[in-house]
């Protein structure tokens, strides 16, 4: 019931979900594929956090290779490897066979948020059409994401989106070191000996 609440109310509790998967390991007769699918989908929606991988480690490999679980795993793997266009294509074809995907509130919004995160740390400038494709949105929807993430169309080239200006983040820093009298007092004999040695060598 708690997992179903996470699905319908768009809340998330990774620790509880991992505990359920662990209980399935100890009690395989109680294993439920549909519940496991929902746990994986919630973990995928929480990328870039490693929850998806943690969940997979607690599921028997044989089960991960079985349908429909294998299709959900494939979706998560495609996002982790940044194969975004392939992800959207597979998601469209998988929704009909796995109704749970459509029941997870905010799933596609969370995926797009993750993709924007990847774009933000990977690009300084990206083609507008490419950005629309990896977000699976139409051109007239792009303005919402530009405003949310502070991205801008390149003024003299609207076919590109200006994602990040590295020059604006580079700031000069004044480094000041304070040396107190006790430190100078400790150094005085060393400096005096060094000066004496230099004087002797000069003679």
- If asked whether residues 73 and 130 sit together in one domain, one would say no
pLDDT of residue 200: 62
Percent of the chain at pLDDT > 90 equals 74
Q: Are 33 and 68 in contact (CB under 8 A)?
A: yes
Within a domain: residue 116?
A: no
Poorest-pLDDT segment among 34-48, 80-94, 112-126, 164-178: 164-178
In the chain, the number of structural domains is 2
Residues 6+ apart with CB under 8 A from 143: none
Q: How far apart are CA 152 and CA 158, in angstroms?
A: 9
- If asked whether residues 96 and 157 sit together in one domain, one would say no
pLDDT at 154 over 50: yes
Report the CATH number that the domain containing residue 62 is assigned in CATH. Answer: 1.25.40.250
pLDDT band at 169 (very low <50, low <70, confident <90, very high): very low
Q: How far apart are CA 84 and CA 142, in angstroms?
A: 16
- If asked whether residues 83 and 156 sit together in one domain, one would say no
Phi, psi of 74 (to 5 degrees): -60, -40
DSSP 183-200: HHHHHHHHHHHHHHHHHH
- If asked whether residues 42 and 77 sit together in one domain, one would say yes
What does pTM read for this prediction?
Answer: 0.79
- If asked whether residues 193 and 130 sit together in one domain, one would say yes
- If asked whether residues 70 and 19 sit together in one domain, one would say yes
Answer with the residue of higher pLDDT: 203 or 39.
Answer: 39
DSSP structure class, residue 161: E
**How high does pLDDT run on average in the chain?**
88
Q: Is the dihedral of CA 126, 115, 106, 65 positive or negative?
A: positive
pLDDT digits (tens, 9 = 90+) for 22-65: 999 999 999 999 999 999 999 999 999 999 999 999 999 999 99
């Amino acid at each position: 019931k708690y997992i179903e609440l996470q699905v319908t109310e768009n809340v998330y509790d990774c620790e509880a979900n991992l505990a359920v998967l662990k209980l399935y390991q100890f009690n395989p007769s109680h294993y439920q594929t549909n519940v496991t699918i929902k746990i994986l989908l919630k973990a995928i929606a929480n990328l870039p956090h490693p929850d998806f991988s943690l969940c997979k480690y607690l599921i028997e490999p044989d089960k991960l290779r079985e349908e429909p679980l294998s299709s959900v795993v494939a979706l998560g793997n495609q996002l982790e490897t940044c194969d975004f266009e392939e992800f959207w294509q597979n998601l469209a074809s998988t929704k009909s066979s796995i109704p749970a995907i459509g029941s997870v509130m905010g799933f596609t919004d969370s995926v797009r948020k993750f993709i924007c995160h990847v774009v933000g740390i990977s690009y300084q400038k990206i083609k507008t059409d490419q950005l629309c494709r990896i977000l699976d949105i139409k051109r007239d929807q792009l303005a919402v994401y530009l405003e949310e993430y502070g991205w801008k169309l390149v003024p003299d080239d609207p076919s590109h989106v200006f994602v990040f200006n590295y020059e604006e983040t580079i700031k000069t820093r004044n480094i000041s070191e304070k040396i107190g009298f006790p430190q100078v007092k400790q150094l005085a004999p060393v400096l005096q000996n060094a000066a004496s040695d230099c004087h002797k060598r000069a003679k």
